[in-house]
């Protein structure tokens, strides 16, 4: 009995911690933080330390499933792909490629094979009905970056390790470990800001664990961040004045922005935001005076009706305080796979959304996607172009999308559905065929997305440590699954030799990436397809690495602190940071006008995360869900008293979308007027196969979120600030 030690990056959240896995006789017996990881230096959270429990979960799918007479039965891959070809073929035969929709969930971005496989798969599919978790998450950030920098994927991150002043809104990294800011041990880095004499301010309607670690807590009315950030801009301009510093020659549109935002100031927004004018002015002055500062907004700020504006305004503040693109401010990472900026002139074609619009609600496409908030419309509304079939990958929209009960019914009405997932859950139970992905141990891993969102330039590669044909693994990887689906979508036989199928995908990706296939691939060809492509991408990146370099560094390679990238990285037509893009300015006008309309009054609902949960999953891991239920309705003592509710009572929560009963947790950690329920629960429906999750079911908060209100520029759903009423459950209820 010999122990083998393996190192790999945790694929569960954006923090990308290095793990040390001890394997005995082919089984992982222990997971610890990798103390030698160049980035995480031993940090780990409870989810990462139970990664092997996910791999060993007896409920995780080991073989494809086909629904026959309403029951799932195990099938071979060939049978499953034949069923997919037959089911999708029936829909395509009617002549409309858009009738097959796709939904890509959050773990898709944490999955190397899927990241590489989706593009050729989507091209083969040829549908405009593409949906993803991005429109219940970060789409506003892409839109504001597209407008300002001409690059929707270039998102500045707070330079946590060097900043003197961090203003965080709608983020709770003490639970989430950070998002759109890859920083293992985020809270250690926050503590270090304070230890070196800096200041941390958190804007949140709840007194979170992040608040406890900060210097100052500003409570805000949900959904009002954009007004408040607008007021900060005005107060800086009117008070100490803007100071663009070295940015000045590279910025355009500032006067227009200041004019438009003029009506928003500390006094005019005070009542709407619930923040007194003196506090707003003080923070504006402090941001401007700090040697360096960064404004960072996340889920609470982006998943509102004003998500894009709030995202834009955070960066406007970073610009007018001279902090965009400077050490200690908000900086652009330089991923190891990105070509060098050097020798590139700033400027380009810019970026636009709305190249086409959705059929039913006429909402613009953004990055080729429609909002998941309108997926049910597209399924339910009859007529030409109706969505009749759906393919999901690593998504649980029946728990994560707004007005989820409606989407649940819509999925049940589909003519055909395929899910690529590791579980039979609330969404995948609607599928006709489920194609199982391997466990994290059987996948090669490299964070293609998160190296572009990281507070240091770091790169890691983890090979699979379990063979694909391990008895606890389904056999095919996500890349191979997408490759076969692409083949089916191209009208070819699904049981073609899989080596040939993936080979075709590799050459398609290589050609598309502009690689000199003969030359560059020579070194890369004798590798599995996913590794071959990754190798090519690395070879072309500015760091000049090869996959063998990464293999030789199992604790990762640190390529250093972030470096300034302006103006060379800009792709706007003017070659400047365009602060006043016309769609943004029109939306800013709407924001200013909306200040005059008083809010409805009554309670509003927000969400929260917990360190031991991961969106709608990881709830089948006993050690993560044991103990007291964390799916409670937080309510302020005064609101509870008004509703006649005591701690532990069952409370009826109603919204325009639906109602549910949740256990009340009376706490002054939540501001008056706001109630809070985490999302991703409600595991007690029939037809799933997650026994542990079902026994700690909780309730599904997206029964309450409505799908009618979206951020118009990004299509992002409003998931925070939902008007609700709460009352004690009467015996008759
Ligand atoms: N443990 C764990 N980690 C996760 C996840 C998970 O489910 N569990 N999910 C991952 C994913 S997909 C993401 S996107 C990230 C998200 O990471 P975060 O953005 O840090 O998300 P949350 O932890 O939900 O924190 C959001 C905060 O916003 C506050 N809030 C709500 N409404 C408003 C508002 O209108 N204004 C302001 N200023 N604040 C508001 C809430 O009270 C809450 O404290 O976390 C990732 N990491
Ligand atoms: N009310 C409210 N709703 C929210 C949020 C909120 O804060 N409040 N947050 C939103 C956010 S930020 C996000 S990102 C979304 C998430 O929304 P989704 O991505 O739709 O849902 P997840 O809960 O992340 O579901 C992930 C699915 O992937 C599967 N899975 C896990 N690993 C793998 C794998 O390796 N391969 C495959 N094929 N499948 C895998 C899991 O079994 C699960 O079915 O939820 C959003 N919904
Ligand atoms: S913080 Fe995120 S990446 Fe790190 S161990 Fe936990 S789940 Fe994994
Ligand atoms: Mo997310």
Q: What is the pLDDT of residues 27-61, one digit of tens each?
A: 999 999 999 999 999 999 999 999 999 999 999 99
Per-residue pLDDT reduced to its tens digit, 509-527: 777 766 665 545 545 567 8
Cα of 593 to ligand 2 centre, how many Å? Answer: 35
Strands 603-606 and 674-676: parallel
The answer as to CATH 3.30.930.10 being correct for domain 600-728 is: no
Q: Which residue has the higher pLDDT, 503 or 301?
A: 301
In CATH, the architecture of 147-332+575-593 is 3-Layer(aba) Sandwich (3.40)
Q: How far from the centroid of its chain's Cα atoms is residue 183's Cα?
A: 15
Q: Are 718 and 305 in contact (CB under 8 A)?
A: yes
Residue 343, Ramachandran bin (φ over 0: left; ψ between -120 and 50: alpha; else beta): left
Q: Give the 3-state secondary structure of residue 199.
A: strand
- Range(s) within the chain of domains with CATH label 2.40.40.20: 600-728
Give the ligand with the smallest distance to the CA of 54. 2
Among the bound ligands, the one closest to the CA of 426:
2
pLDDT at 94: 95
Q: Is 161 left (phi over 0), alpha (psi -120 to 50) or beta?
A: alpha
DSSP result, 542-599: TT---HHHHHT-TT-EEEEE----TTTT--STTSSEETT-HHHHHHHHHHHHHTTS--
Ligand nearest to the backbone CA of 395: 2
List beta partners, residue 71.
Answer: 68
Q: Which ligand is nearest to the CA of 699?
A: 2
The DSSP letter of residue 466 is: S
Measured N-to-C along each axis, helices 307-320 and 225-238 cross at an angle, to the nearest 10 degrees, of 20
Percent of the chain exceeding pLDDT 70 equals 97
Among the atoms of ligand 2, which is closest to the Cα of residue 615? Answer: 23
Query: Looking at ligand 3, which atom is closest to the CA of residue 40?
Result: 4
CATH of domain 3-55: 3.30.200.210
Pick from 437-441, 473-477, 520-524, 632-636: least confident:
520-524
Contacts with 526 (C-beta within 8 Å, 6 or more apart), sequence order = none
Cα 400 to its chain centre, rounded Å, is 11
DSSP H helices, 156-306, are 173-176, 186-195, 209-212, 225-238, 254-261, 266-273, 277-289, 299-302
**pLDDT for 731 beyond 70:** no
Cα(452)–Cα(649) distance, rounded to whole angstroms?
45
What digits encode the pLDDT tens for the residues 134-151?
Answer: 999 999 999 999 999 999
179 touches ligand 1 (CB under 6 Å): yes
Probe residue for ligand 3, chosen from 8, 39, 43, 177 as the CB with the greatest number of ligand atoms within 8 Å: 177
Report the atom number in ligand 1 closest to the C-alpha of 106: 12
137 touches ligand 1 (CB under 6 Å): yes
Encode 445-460: b = buried (16+ Cβ within 10 Å), e = exposed.
bbbbbbbbbbbbbbbb
Q: Quote the ligand 3 centre to 176 CA distance (angstroms).
A: 9
Asked whether 660 and 681 are in contact (CB, 8 A), the reply is no
Dihedrals phi, psi of 543, to nearest 5 degrees:
-80, -10
The β-bridge partners of 66 are 73, 433
Pocket of ligand 3 (CB under 6 A): 10, 12-13, 15-17, 44-45, 47-48, 177, 184
Contact 351, 583 (CB under 8 A): no
Q: Which atom of ligand 1 is found nearest the CA of 169? A: 38
DSSP secondary structure code for residue 47 in this structure: T
Nearest alpha carbon, ligand 3 atom 4: 17
207-265 tens-digit pLDDT? 999 999 999 999 999 999 999 999 999 999 999 999 999 999 999 999 999 999 999 99
> In angstroms, rounded to a whole number, what is the distance separating the alpha carbons of residues 170 and 243?
26
| R_g of the chain computed on alpha carbons | 25
The pLDDT of residue 74 is above 80: yes
Q: Looking at residue 519, what is its pLDDT?
A: 47
| 603 Cα: distance to centroid of ligand 1 (angstroms) | 20
Assess contact for 395 and 430: CB atoms under 8 A.
no
User: pLDDT tens-digit profile of 115-125?
Assistant: 999 998 999 99
Q: In a 3-state reduction of DSSP, which class is residue 187? A: helix
**Where are the domain boundaries for CATH 3.40.50.740 in the chain?**
65-128+368-561
Q: Is 393 in the pocket of ligand 2 (CB under 6 A)?
A: yes
Quick check: 690 pLDDT over 90? yes
**What stretch(es) of the chain map to CATH 3.40.228.10?**
147-332+575-593
CA dist., res. 172 & res. 203, Å (int): 10
Give the pLDDT mean for 549-553.
Answer: 98
Going by alpha carbons, the residue nearest to atom 5 of ligand 3 is 48
392 CA distance to ligand 2 centroid (A)?
11
**Ligand 2 contacts CB of residue 301 (under 6 A):** no
Asked if 61 and 424 count as a contact pair (C-beta separation under 8 A), the reply is: yes
CB-CB contact of 295 with 330 (8 Å): yes
3: helix, coil or strand? strand
pLDDT on residue 522: 47
397 CB near ligand 2 (under 6 Å):
yes
CB contact set of 631 (below 8 Å; sequence gap of 6+): 662, 663, 677, 678, 681, 698, 699
607 lines ligand 2 (CB under 6 A): yes
Cα separation, 672 vs 533, whole angstroms: 53
Q: Ligand 3 atom closest to Cα of 16?
A: 3
CA distance 372 to 135: 6
pLDDT tens-digit readout, 615-672: 999 999 999 999 999 999 999 999 999 999 999 999 999 999 999 999 999 999 999 9
> What is the pTM for the complete model shown?
0.97
Strands (E), 301-408: 330-331, 389-393
Model pLDDT for residues 323-369, shown as the tens digit of each residue: 999 999 999 999 999 988 877 899 999 999 999 999 999 999 999 99
User: Could you read off the pLDDT of 200-223 as tens digits, one per residue?
Assistant: 999 999 999 999 999 999 999 999
Mean of pLDDT over the chain: 95
Ligand 1: which of 300, 612, 672 to mutate, judged by most atoms within 8 Å of the beta carbon?
Answer: 300
Ligand at minimal distance from the CA of 617 is 2
- Tell how far the Cα of 41 is from the centroid of ligand 4, in angstroms: 25
Burial level of 216, CB count in 10 A (0-12/13-18/19+)? middle
pLDDT reported for residue 732: 61
Ligand 3, atom 8, lies closest to the CA of: 48
Q: How much is the pLDDT for 429? A: 98
Q: For residue range 537-548, list pLDDT tens digits in order.
A: 999 899 999 999
- pLDDT value at 100 more than 70: yes
Candidates 54, 184, 189: which one to mutate for ligand 3, based on the most atoms within 8 Å of Cβ? 184
**Burial (Cβ within 10 Å: 0-12, 13-18, ≥19) of residue 9:** buried
- 660: three-class secondary structure by DSSP: strand
Q: Which of 707, 710, 714 is nearest to 407 (CA)?
A: 707
Contact 472, 439 (CB under 8 A): yes
Q: Could you read off the pLDDT of 568-609 as tens digits, one per residue? A: 999 999 999 999 999 999 999 999 999 999 888 899 999 999
Of 165, 172, 169, nearest to 229 (Cα)?
A: 169
> Is the shortest distance between the CB of 443 and ligand 2 below 6 Å?
no
> Which segments of the chain belong to CATH 3.30.200.210?
3-55
Q: How far apart are CA 454 and CA 335, in angstroms?
A: 9
Torsion angle defined by CA atoms of residues 434, 437, 439 and 441, in that order, rounded to the nearest 10 degrees: 160
Give the integer Cα–Cα distance in Å for 522 and 543: 20
Residue 670 DSSP one-character state: B
Give CATH for domain 65-128+368-561.
Answer: 3.40.50.740
Alpha carbon 555 to its chain centroid, in Å, reads 25
Q: 3-state DSSP: the chain helix, strand, coil percent, rounded to 5?
A: 35, 20, 45
C-alpha span between 557 and 545 (Å, rounded): 10
- 10 Å CB burial of residue 549 (0-12, 13-18, 19+) is middle
Expressed in angstroms and rounded, the spacing between residue 615 Cα and the centre of ligand 2 is 5
Task: Give yes or no for a cis peptide into 567 (omega within 30° of 0).
Answer: yes
């Amino acid at each position: 009995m010999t122990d083998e030690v393996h190192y790999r990056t945790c694929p569960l959240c954006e923090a990308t911690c290095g793990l040390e896995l001890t394997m005995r006789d082919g089984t992982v017996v222990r997971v610890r933080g990798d103390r030698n990881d160049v980035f995480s230096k031993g940090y780990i959270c409870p989810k990462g330390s139970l990664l092997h429990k996910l791999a060993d979960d007896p409920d995780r799918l080991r073989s494809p499933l086909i629904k026959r007479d309403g029951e799932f039965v195990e099938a071979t891959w060939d049978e499953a792909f034949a069923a997919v070809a037959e089911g999708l073929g029936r829909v395509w035969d009617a002549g409309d490629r858009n009738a097959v929709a796709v939904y890509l969930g959050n773990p898709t971005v944490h999955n190397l094979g899927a990241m590489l496989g989706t593009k050729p798969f989507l091209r083969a599919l040829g549908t405009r009905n593409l949906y993803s978790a991005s429109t219940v998450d970060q789409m506003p950030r892409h839109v504001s970056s597209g407008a300002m920098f001409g690059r929707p994927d270039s998102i500045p991150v707070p330079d946590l390790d060097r900043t003197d002043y961090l203003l965080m809104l709608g983020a709770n990294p003490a639970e989430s470990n950070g998002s759109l800011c890859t920083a293992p041990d985020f809270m250690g880095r926050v503590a270090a800001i304070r230890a070196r004499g800096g200041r941390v301010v958190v804007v949140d309607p709840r007194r979170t664990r992040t608040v406890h670690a900060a210097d100052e807590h500003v409570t805000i009315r949900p959904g009002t961040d954009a007004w408040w950030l607008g007021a900060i801009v005005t107060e800086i301009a009117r008070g100490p004045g803007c100071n663009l510093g070295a940015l000045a020659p590279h910025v355009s549109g500032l006067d227009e922005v200041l004019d438009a935002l003029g009506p928003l100031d500390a006094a005019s927004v005070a009542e709407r935001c619930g923040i007194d004018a003196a506090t707003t002015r003080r923070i504006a002055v402090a941001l401007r005076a700090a040697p360096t500062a960064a404004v960072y907004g996340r889920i609470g700020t982006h998943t509102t009706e004003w998500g894009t504006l709030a995202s834009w305004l955070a960066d406007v503040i970073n610009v007018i305080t001279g902090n965009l693109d400077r050490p200690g401010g908000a900086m652009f990472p330089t991923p190891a796979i990105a070509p060098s900026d050097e020798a590139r002139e700033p400027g380009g074609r810019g970026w636009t959304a709305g190249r086409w619009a959705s059929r039913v609600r006429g909402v613009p496409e953004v990055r080729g996607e429609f909002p998941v908030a309108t997926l049910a419309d597209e399924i339910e509304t009859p007529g030409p172009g109706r969505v009749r079939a759906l393919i999901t990958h690593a998504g649980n929209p029946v728990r994560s999308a707004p007005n989820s009960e409606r989407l649940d019914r819509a999925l049940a009405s589909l003519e055909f559905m395929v899910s690529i997932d590791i579980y039979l859950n609330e969404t995948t139970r609607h599928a006709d065929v489920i194609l199982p992905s391997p466990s994290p141990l059987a996948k090669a891993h490299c964070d293609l997305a998160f190296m572009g969102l990281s507070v240091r330039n770091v790169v890691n590669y983890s090979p699979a440590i379990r063979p694909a044909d391990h008895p606890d693994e389904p056999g095919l990887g996500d890349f191979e699954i997408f490759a076969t689906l692409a083949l089916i979508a191209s009208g070819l036989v699904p049981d073609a030799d899989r080596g040939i199928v993936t080979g075709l995908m590799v050459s398609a990706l290589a050609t598309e990436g502009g690689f000199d296939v003969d030359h560059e691939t020579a070194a890369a060809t004798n590798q599995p397809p996913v590794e071959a492509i990754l190798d090519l991408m690395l070879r072309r990146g500015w760091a000049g690495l090869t996959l063998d370099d990464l293999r030789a560094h199992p604790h990762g390679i640190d390529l250093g602190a972030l470096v300034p990238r302006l103006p060379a990285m800009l792709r706007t037509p003017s070659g400047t940071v365009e602060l006043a893009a016309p769609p943004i300015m029109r939306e800013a006008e709407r924001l200013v006008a909306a200040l005059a309309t008083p809010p409805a009054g009554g309670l509003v609902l927000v969400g929260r995360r917990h360190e031991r949960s991961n969106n709608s999953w990881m709830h089948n891991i006993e050690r993560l869900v044991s103990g007291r239920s964390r799916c409670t309705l937080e309510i302020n003592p005064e609101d509870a008293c008004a509703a006649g509710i005591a701690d532990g009572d069952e409370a009826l929560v109603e919204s325009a979308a639906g109602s549910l009963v949740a256990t009340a947790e009376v706490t002054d950690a939540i501001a008056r007027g706001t109630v809070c329920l985490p999302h991703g629960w409600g595991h007690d429906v029939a037809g799933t196969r997650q026994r542990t999750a079902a026994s700690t079911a909780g309730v599904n908060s997206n029964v309450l979120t409505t799908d009618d209100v979206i951020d118009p520029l990004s299509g992002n759903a409003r998931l925070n600030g939902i008007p609700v009423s709460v009352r004690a459950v009467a015996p008759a209820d």
